[in-house]
Structure 1
Amino acid sequence: MIIRLRDARVVQFAGFFLVLLGNTVGAGDVSDSADWAADVLNRSNLSGGLVVYVGAGDATAWGKRAAALGADARCVVHGLYADPDAIEAARTPIRAAGLYGRVAVEPWTGSRLPYADDLVSLLVLDEPVEVVEAVDDASRVKRRSPSSAAPAGLSIAKREVLRVLAPDGVALVWEKGQWHRLVKTRPETIDDWSHALYDATNNAVSRDRVVGPPRRLQWIARPLNARHHEHLAVSVVVSAGGRIFYIIDEGPTASLFLPPQWSLIARDAFNGVVLWKRSIPQWEDHLRPFRSGPPHISRTLVATAERVYVTLGLRTPVSVLNPATGKTFREYPQTKGTEEILYHDGILYLAVRQADNRAPRQTEAGRETKAAHRKGVGRHRNERRQAHQTDAAPNGPRGLMAVDAKTGSTLWQLDGVGALPMSLAVGGNRVVYMTNEAVVCCDARTGQRLWRSPRDVPRQRPGWSAPTVVLQDGVVLVADRWPKFKDRIDPVTGKPIANWLAQEGWTGDLIAYDASSGKVLWKALCAETYHAPPDVFVIDGLVWVGQSRSRTGPDFVAARDLHTGEIKRRLDTHKAWETTMPHHRCYRNRATARYLITGRTGVEFIDVATGKACRHHWTRGTCQFGTLPANGLLYVPPHSCACYIDAKLTGFLAMAPAATLPSRPIAGAATDESGRLIRGPAFGHLADQRPTHSAHPGQPATLNSRPSNADSPMSPLDSQRSRTDWPTHRHDALRSGCAPQSVPADLGRLWQRRLDARPTAPVVAEGRVFVATADTHTVHALDATTGRPVWSFTSGGRIDSPPSVT
């Protein structure tokens, strides 16, 4: 994420910093590590995230304090210990507590903190660390000889502290026997995203002015892939109060037909640390047909900085959760049957199914889909047929309800009004929704109908299809498909419409109504996105509407005045649509105050002022939901797409735009690289020494001297080892994946060894098995014959690939 540390802001931060340093938060010599950590976390008011602990001194005591900070499972702790010679002593108490990995330590030998901008939730600077105005290269901590003591003082510049702290992050500095507290102010240029479509108005436009074309990776999290490409996997993602919340199926990816594991998960928005998780025992059928929605499943989760409103099951009552802990504050039993939640001015506006609230069973379409998968034929044809048989007015009437979010009391209720899915919008003192016959507007406080404007809509539509209703600045914008498709010619491009999967979606009308009277103000063509409802964005009083069927493009070429429909701006956006991808991604697009963020091929950013487009084929949003721009970052939930598979990133990603100020030295500039390579005890001796294989299993190998002459003949034993070893992940530098040896047909277990975390693939050389455990940052060497541990080495960070042995 961008940190705008221009001189004025630096001075502002610096002034705030000095004021806080001048006021003592509290004091107290706490010898017990647990009490010390509790005191630190209490002073910071931290509810989880990335904790960085910097210091020196007694290694064992320091390690115990680091472990104590990580006793809370909501915290990931990274320690920077300033005495490299005692680093193992600092790690020992953490390993003893069984926490190494989630709590980790690396040597710190400089004034720079090794973190991305805006990443750290809590920075603890213990003695002898001091914060100064600036640190020049000459004052950096130098590597010392084994006999030297820890340095008397370590310096970090104030600017560096502010750089790594996340918005609302806290730094605690121990100085003169007291803790001093700094809170980094959240910039006004970043924004939350509290609903599936930004807020209750359904205008999917963030006010965030920092989000931009992705250039830096903020964090990455599992799962690396969504559960399935063609079925529901991620229902919704929202963000508020420096956290993100999402509903995901964590079931096994090995087979879609294994039971789903739906969960509501909260992460820190800036570093991705998991804060809490709630199980959802019953959710939408995960075998629901290809791209058949339901679209309103994304409207079951709303977040604010103080509360999370969610249905923890399909059509269950609304639960109110603590966003910091996930614990339930209360439940509103009268809201049973809720399918959509909107929050506006302290009131929950709910679309409620008022009949047939039984738990869902596998649909007939789901059973046919499963059978088609088993047969391996007819799947797409079957799923598309089933999707198009979805009734626009599902079984059981849908009513509306307004509930006081604080007390839970029902303010008003409208039974059986037949509100269409996704059509509810709230803004100012108006509530708007659609039925099969009309657009209806009510008073937000009383529920009394104010006006009704007839509008005909299809009685049957695909399961993913829904109207788009946006309420903005006294105008109601309603975009929906025509009741009947008029012809097979695209009215925008003039080209015939092919009847195939990539051309899903109909053309329709965008109609603007006066929110006070219901009078029609103007009309324009619109079109559905690929397997998703129409896109309508209002940015600075201008309306951008998608008009190309299935977003084949070019699209969003004209911006209209919100009140008159007059075209005020035209853009050439063809570059965003230059692609070999046959169809747009199957989700709605998003926008910010500066960009339209589309999914034509991957993620495209279109500047709404200039039309300049930046394409990113190497990433994409998750099926049926898309991406999320918030907190100055672009969040990309996991997908299972094979398009551009050689280049496309996987995992749950948070990506930042280019930095306005370089946080690292510019490439090519003269820099001191001497401290980057860490030389272990074997450095410089590899050509002269190699392990001698022990003749007695269970005995450690020894280092014996041997000639380094390359012309020395290979011994018979060396030749045998070269044939039986597997020294690198794909066997050799040619990546052959093949060893010149045979193995018996009947295999049995020779030995088994449990390691401290999930292992990488092993390699074998010189009679040893080498394997890394990524999450504990450790390489293990085991005797190949017995599995007995020979040695282990812990690095300063994760080791995410198998080691190689030379």
Structure 2
Amino acid sequence: MNKVFVRVASVWGIVLLLAAPAICGQARQGAAAGQPGRKSPSPPAPTAQTNLATYLVEKTGISRGICSVVGADNPGLLADLARASQFYVIHALDPDGSVVEAAKKMIDARGLYGHRIVIEKGQRDRLPYADNTIDALIVPNLPGGQLGASDAAEILRVLRPKGVAMLGAGGRQKPALGGLGDQARAASVIEGDRGVWVRLVKPLQQGADSWSHWQHGPDNNPASLDTVIKPPYLTQWTAEPYYITMPAITLVAGGRTFCAMGHIAHHEREEQWINTLYVRDAYNGVQLWQRKLPRGYLTHRSAFVATDDIFYMIDDDGNGLLMLDPETGRRIGEIQDESLSGEWKWVALQDGVLYVMCGGKPDQREVKYAKSQNTHWSWQALSNGYYRREIPWGFGQMIGAYDIERKRLLWTHKETGSMDSRALTMDGQKIFFYGPYSHVGCLDAKTGKLLWTNNDPQIRELVQEEGRGLSSTPGFRTEPFSLVSREALFFAPQTNQYVAAVSKDNGRLLWYRRKTTSNPNLLYADDSLLVGVGEGGNTLRLDPLTGETRQDLGFRKRSCSRLTATPDSFFCRGFFEGTTRYDRKTGRVTFNGAMRPSCQDGVVPANGLLFIGPWTCDCNLSLMGAMALCSAGDFRFKHEATEGDRLDIAASNVTSVAPLNVSSKDWPVYRANNNHNAATRVSLSANLEKKWEFGPQNAITPTPPTAAGGLVFFAADDGKVCAIEAQSGQLRWTFATAGPIRVPPTIWNSRAYVGSGDGYVYCLEAATGRMLWRFRAAPVERRIMVYGRLCSTWPVNSGVLVQDGVAYFAAGLIDTDGTYVYALDAITGQIKWQNNSSGHLNPGIRKGVSAHGRLTIADGKLWMAGGNIVSPAIYDLKTGECLSVVETDGSPRANRGEEIAVLNKEYVLTGGRLIFSAIENVVDPGFFQLTRVSAPNQSAQLVRGKISPAWDDKRLVYVHGRQTPLRCCNLADVGQAFDAGKRDPDTLIQKRWMANVPGVLDVVGIALASNAVVAVCQTRPTDKEPSQWAVMTLSPKDGSVRWQSALP
């Protein structure tokens, strides 16, 4: 449980102690929703509605993922649905605001609000979800007991394929379904003790493909046949974990993704994922289950097959195949046969027949903990097997075929020498194999008959020859190196010298070409072989029979991330960083630096979506972790906001509010004031004592606090805003939004302003929490899962900045989806101006500013931390015009940190931690940079690390990277260091002092009082004590410690 501890009687001191750790994100230590470590509240006690809830869960046949309930007049049913299921979130809508508020109170009293259940005002005729997002939808009472065609169409729009809706028709009269038109085929009527219900099931998407094997299919061609996913794209979901182990592969089938994580952890943050199978709902990213794989289990091979109904995997001891329920992970069977002796190395499934390669030496099992402190990882830190000339995995002597339905072995074929599983491939009728010391061979897939072998030593020499003079990284040598097409069989092992082609009819060598990079992968499309053997690794289209170049496609893949395809696109990791897309129709190459394909998978197209990530390293990207993109279709990004459409007035008189007495010594804004310098004129006493502590009912991830008028304000990822009495620690009031909150309330003129992940900005009466008005910043209602919470596609994560009676804020997840910046009258909510285009400064590729951090004001301009493409972003304070002049090609070129501040009126300071990242990520140091206000094209790095400095008009206190001493300099010296133009100006700044405090490992938060520096620190572990958190005050004159106390 996250607790707020207070150690001083003064509210000003409270703010310092609370704000300091939160400045660098320590307030985010709570486990992220939906991720391992999340502690859900206890289920409610049974009620009279329990049987109904159980009935509905049984009839939908779905108990995991996201459940939407239309109608909140029976909150007991919502609580019982939580009890009767494993739904990650239950989202309830009701058109009556009073019903919504009453339901919120009841659910919150049970400790479920914002954790398992969210309730908000909404209409049935336009459900606030992205297409194909909801797993189960329940309407307890259909109006009039009837279901119209438009209602059914809207319900089917938001349900994911094979998702189910249960619609209560009321009474005993069977509703007519004839008016449903085409939707009638998806509907059936259920009659019973629980009344009459209409059951709607969403059909499968026509044209959607699966990715059933590690390379899509047994032919090893990573080309999807999915015709549903088409550009342009929108975000479908994002999710943790942010980083995983290597090597990893992803399979997709039946609306689920299966990510098998490998045996190498380069950093401590990844170690929890060593050998883990992680399964998600493909349409919303919610975790369904996970399974620990045996220690050292090699995931980078064809050990898994995903189907709609069964997930197959080579079992723990390697002597058979496990059959798992893909929805729950429950073991439902096993396939073993004594004739398939020895360890199973490779499996494939085709037309109901399981093909197995087994025997040979048992695979070596390795686990590697590199414990790197670098932002990247090293090719010298793989497990030992990768450095051998012959890797210790995947060699067998027998191939067999097993009829799954009849449960009988069909045939086996045994070789005297070993076969390499990386070169096993199938084209439907034939199986092709390669023995590194024997021959290339071909079997009839139906009978197992040996059709031919070819022991031409030249072929083996070409396949085996080590690479010389090749560029790029070595690549993972567990990568498959064969592919079969209509014309030929191809070989291209990682790190080796050649690409070679042989005949499918007899194994005769057709052609070979020298590689230019170590790790191109093979792909077959448009009757051509695609492989990166052009100059500098450019992707070439080759004639599959001759190897002659047909076309240089003008792009190259970066490193070991796989080249993949859809019918209209090629995808790869590109230069300098991000995702490259090649349009197969126009030949146009576009680039998106917001995210990158994962290291082995690349972009995985399946189930009508594109799946990207997660990966291992800290590349300069705006979105980390796992994510999925859908087709945007005809989505209109430029939505002009009007008060009639967006502004919801809740108070009869928004100009009349209960007064809140605020003084100049308050801390009413994130990091103290609109300059965000984390400094106050308040003085602290020499000896501080704990006065009270506050603990929320459930574990939360709180924002940093603000404080004014005798109240301390904070919000959290459960969507709730809280006000605590500064003198007693008693909870004064709470207000529930419908999305996670990342920035604390801004207090101005007796009002509290907060932006929420639900896409709204709220104006509350600060003394009571009464809502005065709210404004929808999101262009439309479109909820998706964002790192474990149901959010708008356009969350308000900028916070709200108020100056001269105007409230400024921005909404957006990533620039490609659109960024929306607003200025409202802070009293009335009336629109002053809006900017709906800065996310697409380059409209052709929809790249520009992302709303990825805070706001500040300098030189008559609004400045925003804008992600890794354009940051800081600059807007005219009076008109909203975006003043950032940049010709972006979509590649990362800016500091992606979420912090922004004004230093000495002359500079804007940006940097810090990525907005969507884990506090446990201690590897990525980031940096802070200064931008000259009068010349935004002039910028320079100030200090390393992610911990925001603090300063007043005389001094600047900071740390220069992880585990470095706290230091202080004259503020005036900072400008001189900037003008010197050095990359690391800290070396030019004359230090007033450096605080080498014994026992302190790291400083994670800094704030200034008039007579003290306040720091939150991590202590060094000892033989007797683990590392702990501590808060201390230091002398601003010499950095000596005045007072120190442990934190829980």
In the other structure, the counterpart of 1:772 is 715
Q: Give me the whole-angstrom Cα distance separating, in 1, the residues matched to 2:78 and 2:164.
A: 18
Which one of the candidate residues 98, 103, 110 is aligned to 2:117? 103
Which sits farther off after the overlay, 261-270 or 202-211?
Answer: 261-270
SS in 2 for 1:718: coil
In the other structure, the counterpart of 1:288 is none
In the other structure, the counterpart of 1:486 is none
How do residues 57-76 of structure 1 correspond to structure 2 at under 5 angstroms? 59=73, 61-65=74-78, 67-68=80-81, 71-76=84-89
SS in 2 for 1:428: coil
Paired residues of 1:392 and 1:460 also in contact (CA < 8 A): no
Which one of the candidate residues 475, 492, 511 is aligned to 1:523? 511
Cα pair distance change 1:378/1:180, threshold 3 Å? closer
In the other structure, the counterpart of 1:622 is 598
> Is 1:389 matched with 2:391?
no
Paired residues of 1:33 and 1:64 also in contact (CA < 8 A): yes
In the other structure, the counterpart of 1:398 is 396
How do residues 451-466 of structure 1 correspond to structure 2 at under 5 angstroms? 451-453=452-454, 454=456, 455-456=459-460, 457-458=463-464, 464-465=476-477, 466=479
Q: Give me the whole-angstrom Cα distance separating, in 2, the residues matched to 1:384 and 1:262.
A: 15
In the other structure, the counterpart of 2:836 is none
Q: Give me the whole-angstrom Cα distance separating, in 1, the residues matched to 2:608 and 2:493.
A: 32
CA drift of 1:635 comes to: 0.8
Cα pair distance change 1:83/1:378, threshold 3 Å? closer
In the other structure, the counterpart of 2:638 is 667
In the other structure, the counterpart of 2:313 is 310
SS in 2 for 1:643: coil
> Is 1:52 matched with 2:71?
no
CA drift of 1:423 comes to: 1.3
Q: Give me the whole-angstrom Cα distance separating, in 1, the residues matched to 2:537 and 2:393.
A: 36
CA drift of 1:640 comes to: 4.2
Q: Give me the whole-angstrom Cα distance separating, in 1, the residues matched to 2:658 and 2:264.
A: 49
Letter in structure 2 aligned against 1:535:
N
Q: Give me the whole-angstrom Cα distance separating, in 1, the residues matched to 2:560 and 2:687.
A: 49
Paired residues of 1:33 and 1:65 also in contact (CA < 8 A): no
SS in 2 for 1:477: strand
Paired residues of 2:246 and 2:616 also in contact (CA < 8 A): no
In the other structure, the counterpart of 2:732 is 790
Percent sequence identity over matched residues? 26
In the other structure, the counterpart of 2:860 is none
Paired residues of 1:222 and 1:651 also in contact (CA < 8 A): yes
Q: Give me the whole-angstrom Cα distance separating, in 1, the residues matched to 2:746 and 2:62.
A: 41
Paired residues of 1:213 and 1:614 also in contact (CA < 8 A): no
Letter in structure 2 aligned against 1:355:
K
In the other structure, the counterpart of 1:236 is 249
Cα pair distance change 1:361/1:387, threshold 3 Å? closer
In the other structure, the counterpart of 1:160 is 154
Letter in structure 2 aligned against 1:676:
R
Q: Give me the whole-angstrom Cα distance separating, in 2, the residues matched to 1:388 and 1:264.
A: 22
In the other structure, the counterpart of 1:12 is none
SS in 1 for 2:100: helix
Q: Give me the whole-angstrom Cα distance separating, in 2, the residues matched to 1:416 and 1:649.
A: 50
How do residues 138-177 of structure 1 correspond to structure 2 at under 5 angstroms? 157-175=151-169, 177=171
Cα pair distance change 1:315/1:690, threshold 3 Å? farther
CA drift of 1:205 comes to: 0.7
Which sits farther off after the overlay, 611-620 or 193-202?
Answer: 611-620
* TM-score, length of structure 1 as denominator length: 0.73
Q: Give me the whole-angstrom Cα distance separating, in 2, the residues matched to 1:283 and 1:683.
A: 66
In the other structure, the counterpart of 2:230 is 212
* TM-score, length of structure 2 as denominator length: 0.57
Deviations 1:579-604 (A, max 9, x none): xxxx8142211111221112123211
Q: CA RMSD in A?
A: 3.7
CA drift of 1:765 comes to: 0.7
> Is 1:88 matched with 2:31?
no
> Is 1:116 matched with 2:116?
no
Which sits farther off after the overlay, 69-78 or 761-770?
Answer: 69-78
CA drift of 1:213 comes to: 4.1
CA drift of 1:545 comes to: 2.6
Q: Give me the whole-angstrom Cα distance separating, in 2, the residues matched to 1:111 and 1:244.
A: 31
Paired residues of 1:626 and 1:636 also in contact (CA < 8 A): yes
CA drift of 1:208 comes to: 0.6
Cα pair distance change 1:740/1:196, threshold 3 Å? farther
In the other structure, the counterpart of 1:470 is 483
In the other structure, the counterpart of 1:593 is 567
Unaligned runs of 5+ in 1: 1-30, 135-155, 285-293, 482-504, 578-582, 693-716
SS in 2 for 1:49: strand
CA drift of 1:297 comes to: 1.6
> Is 1:184 matched with 2:202?
yes
> Is 1:337 matched with 2:343?
yes
Cα pair distance change 1:379/1:464, threshold 3 Å? closer
Letter in structure 1 aligned against 2:719:
H
In the other structure, the counterpart of 2:835 is none
Cα pair distance change 1:674/1:43, threshold 3 Å? same
Q: Give me the whole-angstrom Cα distance separating, in 1, the residues matched to 2:398 and 2:679.
A: 65
CA drift of 1:779 comes to: 1.7
In the other structure, the counterpart of 1:754 is 695
Cα pair distance change 1:619/1:690, threshold 3 Å? same
Which one of the candidate residues 237, 240, 243 is aligned to 1:226? 243
Cα pair distance change 1:393/1:62, threshold 3 Å? closer
Letter in structure 2 aligned against 1:458:
Q
Q: Give me the whole-angstrom Cα distance separating, in 2, the residues matched to 1:107 and 1:772.
A: 20
Letter in structure 2 aligned against 1:319:
L
Cα pair distance change 1:691/1:472, threshold 3 Å? same
CA drift of 1:313 comes to: 4.5
How do residues 675-694 of structure 1 correspond to structure 2 at under 5 angstroms? 675-681=645-651, 684-685=654-655, 689-691=658-660
Paired residues of 2:301 and 2:422 also in contact (CA < 8 A): no
Q: Give me the whole-angstrom Cα distance separating, in 1, the residues matched to 2:98 and 2:355.
A: 61
Paired residues of 1:74 and 1:276 also in contact (CA < 8 A): no
Q: Give me the whole-angstrom Cα distance separating, in 2, the residues matched to 1:248 and 1:782.
A: 44
Paired residues of 2:262 and 2:300 also in contact (CA < 8 A): no
In the other structure, the counterpart of 2:851 is none
How do residues 558-637 of structure 1 correspond to structure 2 at under 5 angstroms? 558-560=541-543, 562=544, 570=551, 573-574=553-554, 576=555, 584-601=558-575, 602-637=578-613
Letter in structure 1 aligned against 2:117:
V
Cα pair distance change 1:679/1:529, threshold 3 Å? farther
In the other structure, the counterpart of 2:418 is 418
Q: Give me the whole-angstrom Cα distance separating, in 1, the residues matched to 2:305 and 2:723.
A: 49
Letter in structure 2 aligned against 1:595:
S
Cα pair distance change 1:408/1:233, threshold 3 Å? farther
Cα pair distance change 1:37/1:449, threshold 3 Å? same
Paired residues of 1:590 and 1:596 also in contact (CA < 8 A): yes
In the other structure, the counterpart of 1:25 is none
> Is 1:718 matched with 2:663?
yes
Aligned residue-pair number: 655
Letter in structure 2 aligned against 1:570:
Q
CA drift of 1:132 comes to: 6.8
Paired residues of 2:68 and 2:138 also in contact (CA < 8 A): yes
Q: Give me the whole-angstrom Cα distance separating, in 2, the residues matched to 1:329 and 1:677.
A: 53
Paired residues of 2:490 and 2:499 also in contact (CA < 8 A): no
CA drift of 1:32 comes to: 4.1
Paired residues of 2:261 and 2:273 also in contact (CA < 8 A): no
SS in 2 for 1:782: strand
CA drift of 1:395 comes to: 7.2
SS in 1 for 2:599: coil
Deviations 1:96-121 (A, max 9, x none): 55433222111114731111122122
Cα pair distance change 1:258/1:208, threshold 3 Å? closer
Paired residues of 1:213 and 1:605 also in contact (CA < 8 A): no
Deviations 1:534-589 (A, max 9, x none): 3222225333232137xx44323x353x566676x636x33x45xxxxx8142211
Cα pair distance change 1:683/1:632, threshold 3 Å? farther
SS in 1 for 2:746: coil
Deviations 1:508-528 (A, max 9, x none): 1230422x43344x4253637
Q: Give me the whole-angstrom Cα distance separating, in 1, the residues matched to 2:86 and 2:383.
A: 47
Q: Give me the whole-angstrom Cα distance separating, in 2, the residues matched to 1:747 and 1:624.
A: 53
Q: Give me the whole-angstrom Cα distance separating, in 1, the residues matched to 2:118 and 2:75.
A: 12
Cα pair distance change 1:212/1:745, threshold 3 Å? farther
